[in-house]
Structure 1
Amino acid sequence: MSVKSSSNGFAVLRNRNLSLYLSSRVLGTLAVQMQSVAVGWQVYQMTHSLFALGLIGLAQFAPFLVLILWAGHIADTHNRRNIIVWCFGAQLATSALLLAFTWSGSTIVWPVFAILVIFGSARAFMMPASQAVLKNLVPHESFSQAVALSSSSFHVAVIAGPVLGGLLYAFGPTTVYLVAAILLTLSVITMAMTTSAPQVMNTAPVSWSTLLEGLRFVWSRPIVLGAISLDLFAVLFGGATALLPAYAHDILHTDASGLGWLRTAPGAGAAICSIALAFFPIRRRVGAWMFGGVAVFGLATLTLGWTANFSIALIALCLLGAGDMVSVYIRHLLVQYETPDAIRGRVSAVNSVFIGASNELGEFESGITAGWLGLVRAIFLGGAATLVVTGLWAVLFPVLSKMDRFPHHDAEEKARAQA
């Protein structure tokens, strides 16, 4: 599995639009991660229910599933920068609503799920636009570095957000939601400062045919279909992170601060991995790297279910994030390289459905499974299922598992040599 060093991993940050975009994304993700820790801990304290933890994921995924194809069409027919600004604004509104709910002193949990439906709706429109816009912000020869740095900046926030959220929760959830609202306000302002990135606008009228164009495209590309469906089913069954509030409370016997460290560990592993990828991007044996990353994810989940030691749990979660980062990096490059700009929003929407299903629906599945089988058994089952899916997909999609180089690799190398 060879990689090729790149000495200009951070050179693309000289691009003003990219720097502003990444800054906005870090601020927004930091706020969302803080808020996620507070919501999970608050709901579990109110209900002491594993099923309720699963409903947190379902509340975010249900509107996502309904709206995502329309969101992909919007990303291809409207300015993607403006869409992202409005979505950050909607997320700001959810922080304000959670703040108001907590201030009210209500002990009824359903308003939290209703607020998360709004958050899930904003996320549905955010993901296709934010995935599709990156290809428009940097030159073709710098795209792989931009992807790695985008992932790095995202995971910086994923690292800091849960820890900060857990520490601030000592002052109450109102403090977390207030700080999240401030950060999201800054995120809106920063994103609005970017200039509109050039994009190929789709002018076809909206119809079922245009809405389903992205799905047809993915279905016609076995490499893309295999990559995003592998992530869907592997993470769907291995979504142990949704159970971390209960795992921290019942197995490790720690508090909200400890939960914050547990939530940040996957992001730490992913960030370290993504920084390495910025300087040593994967060039050869792409398929082996991708399946290896998913296998590490499954093995780390098994380790998490086996241990009751806080330090070992942190290490397992760190490895889980690193393995996931490798597969995410490769999948994102495959989708973007293979997709024409005119339909990139709709293809990104399909990719977002798979990501959302694996994350939020995976959280719901984990909550249901834990309610039936118990917390530890559910985590074990998730890790084992991930490994089974990895082996099965290697057989079902040999074109992906045996892939050596990325598509258009030669064109990128030529462009980089001329730069």
Structure 2
Amino acid sequence: LNKATYKTMIETAEELYAKKDWYNALEWYEKAYEEQRDYDVAIRIAELNFMLRDYRRAESWYARAFRRDKTGKYDEYRFNYARALKMQEKYQEAIEEFDKYLATATDPVKRELAEKEKAGCEFALEAQPVPNVTISNAGRNINTKQSEYSPWPAPDGETMYYASFRTDDVIILDEKNKDEAVVKILRAQKTDKGWSKPEEVNAQINRPGVHTSNVALSPDGRRMYFTRQVLQGNELFESRIYMSEWTGNDWGPAREVQGVNGDWIATHPAVGELFGKEVLYFASDMDGGYGGFDIYYATYKGDGVYGDPVNLGPKINTVGNEVTPFYFDGVLYFSSDGHPGLGGFDIFYSEWNGTLWSPPVNMGKGFNSSVDDLYFRLHKDGTWGFLTSNRPATGARSVKSKTCCDDIYNVSLKI
């Protein structure tokens, strides 16, 4: 009877895993492991915890499997084990594990990433907090226990656009709630006591059954760019960039942006300049890039039409992922897990000199943490803005582990 039960548990877990339903797959693998201590299952549990950004539990499950591994069967998994240690600021231990991984690793891409991760740990051991910057949680009116995304300061200095599920509960998708259990774009106002409770933007932008996020405004505030996305389980399956124009009292009909979408994921739009022309920066996994997601630009031709996407090249883009670009006053800010950093995704900047981008510079401790720091944005006056992070900081609340979910943080600069 037990064998059949174990077999059923594993089959259920595998089915859920194939659907990319990580949380429920994890639950069934854990039940199966209690029934029968199979270290292949322990490794799968470790990997799922890592993907769900529960680094403490991931570390524990990896360690459990490695203790029993006398033949090097699980050596390939030391890469993520080392990363799980790094995400918890266990930098010295992480360096040792990256060295163990590099002693046997053959995959050239993962070897390069491991070297960069190790360099990031060495940088982290020396890094001092950046002076003259205050980073604080944007508060409970904005942040839920789920993730918040893509904060954008409107030019008026009084309004924040961002995206959220707006729930503190675990989201279980079924036929009844599939239209409503989606990320929507919201708008909040600055008050004397921080940010107000948000309101949804109109139904021209937010659609039932579709995740709407990655909001970005043009510098004059009259065009809104955003993405409509489809998830498969916990993974992004489809993403296209849209634009809406301000009609004088509300946002008008959404149009798909011509030139940047294709049979690839196009996400994280941000209006900027290059060679004296307006361009749209965005992240994509289209073929021909340097890694997973790369940053591209497309030149604006007017009326919602753009030229062909151009990759920003190997100075910016790595074998890892570069995402959430933002352009301000000749500087491109972006997040990367392929340049040496303190955590998973760190925020970097690169300056344009008229012909070339400078080598990217890590924004440093404070802007960056031991985990994921994304969506750095500045208001047009250059003194304040936002970022998102899953750091376990004051005010942060999460539906699962302490580092499962991203909150929006206010960034205040003393200039």
TM over 0.5: no
The structure with the larger Rg is 2
| Structure with more relative contact order (C-alpha pairs < 8 Å, separation 6 or more) | 1
Higher relative strand content: 2
Question: TM-score normalised to the size of structure 1?
Answer: 0.25
